[in-house]
Each structure stands twice: as C-alpha cells, then as structure tokens.
Amino acid sequence: MKIAFLHAGFPPDAIKPQHGDYLSMFKNAFAKNGIAIELVDYQVQKGNLPNLQHNFAGFICCGSANSVYDSEPWIPPLVNFIKDLAKKDAKMVGICFGHQLIAHALGGKVEKAKTGWGLGNKAGEVVQNIPCMTPPLKKINLLYSHQDQVTKLPQESQLLITSDHCPNAAFSIGKQFLAIQGHPEFEPDYLDALLQNRRKRIGDTLVDKAKDTLQLEHNNSEAIQWIANFFQRQ
C-alpha cells in the first residue's frame, strides 16, 4: 500500500540526528507493528504536492512547528489541496498540524488553546468507535506537544476522542478523513528530547510536569493500527 506523506514540519536540528524526522518515525511505527505501508515523501514546505491522479491509497500529513493560520506561502496551496481532496474519492490522515489542517480547510476553526500547552502522555476518552478503530478502546493515552487545537469541528464531523485539555482530540469525516491531535508516531524518548529542547520556550514547570508522564503506558500501537485500517477499509 502506497501513501503520500505530506512532510509539513521537522524536528529541531539539535535532536534530529539522533531521532530522525517525522517520515522516519512513521516508517518505524508502521514497521514496528508489522504494517506494510510505503510512504512517498512530499516536501510541502517547498511547494511539492502530490498529483491527485497518482494511484495512492491515501495521504498522511504530519506535525509542524507552524500554525495552519500562519502567513507562510506554502500553507494556502496545502489548504487548497485538502479542499480538492475532499471532492475526490481519496483518504487522508492528519496528525497534530495535519489534524488542525483538515479542520481549518474544511470549515472548522483552529486557534491557540486557552488551556495552554498540551504536553506529555495524556489520556483521552473514546466517545465513538468507527470501523477502523479496532482494537476498540474506551480510553486512549497518546503523546502530545501542541499549543494550537481545533476549537470548532467541520460540518459532518464525528467526534472520536475528547479530553479535558483537548475537547476535539480526534475526529473523522465520512470515510475520507481521520484527524488525530496526538502523536502515535512519537516515542517517549523523542518527546523527552523535544521537551528539553524547548525548555526555555515552554518553561521549567510545564516541561518537568510533562516529562513525569513519559513513563506511563501509551496506546501508540493501537492508534497506528487504526490508521492502517482506515486506509485499508473500503
């Protein structure tokens, strides 16, 4: 199965050599769970977007240090790409920035969270299980690192996961879009390094509190399987 990877952001240069980029994290996550998915890299910050006529099983958009409402010149074409995708019989998964991008492009709203940074291993409540969400869960722990969040869902969305810090933590739109704020591709050691790298920006109190959660169990494997199921199901 071939998936186009919309490479919208990169880890900080200081920690990238040890942990890789988001493309390699997704490749490792799929391989770790025995999922045969080929990811084709598109550097969307350089204006490289897939042709919708290509025979991809779907699209994944990863996280980014940018906000979907930033004035970066590469963001409007990406937003238009999502709008065009919605008119086609194609599937897309959005993670963090990608999650917000889907909402932003299709009539939802994204803004800085009033609750502040969402950091560390956080629990969410699964309020609805759609067919791809097997194995089913009632609670899900994922790794988070974000300031923005979706504050209004697009029309026809189904809310899938909610939490105190992020009410719209995951949603779907029909069989076409699956959007998840958390990072099932992250490993705890990467998020630990990311938090340390951003300590001056975020502040000691929040960083230390988030680091304390990284020893908790997470549900990365289940969420990665959900993503694969989403692409595989008709």
Specify the CATH superfamily of domain 2-232: Class I glutamine amidotransferase (GATase) domain (3.40.50.880)
148: left (phi over 0), alpha (psi -120 to 50) or beta: beta
Task: Decide: 142 and 223 in contact? Cβ < 8 Å.
Answer: yes
Is residue 132 annotated as a catalytic residue, yes or no?
no
User: Which residue ranges make up each domain of the chain?
Assistant: 2-232
Q: Which position has the higher pLDDT, 5 or 53?
A: 5
Q: How confident is the model over 42-63, as pLDDT tens digits? A: 999 999 999 887 889 999 999 9
pTM, two decimals, is: 0.97
Catalytic residue (one of 19, 99, 104, 183): 183
Q: How far from 121 is each of 2, 166, 211, 219, CA to CA, in Å?
A: 30, 13, 9, 10
CA 81 to chain centre: 17
Is residue 7 annotated as a catalytic residue, yes or no?
no
Q: How confident is the model over 190-230, as pLDDT tens digits? A: 999 999 999 999 999 999 999 999 999 999 999 999 999 99
Is residue 96 annotated as a catalytic residue, yes or no?
yes
Q: How confident is the model over 162-201, as pLDDT tens digits? A: 999 999 999 999 999 999 999 999 999 999 999 999 999 9
Task: Decide: 114 and 165 in contact? Cβ < 8 Å.
Answer: no
Q: How confident is the model over 89-125, as pLDDT tens digits? A: 899 999 999 999 999 999 999 999 998 999 999 999 9
Neighbours of 139 (CB within 10 A): 11
Strand order in the sheet with 170-173: 38-42, 2-6, 58-61, 92-95, 177-180, 170-173, 157-162, 118-126, 139-146
Single-letter residue type at 87 = K
Catalytic residue (one of 166, 185, 218, 222): 185
- Smallest Cα–Cα separation from 56: which of 81, 32, 74? 81
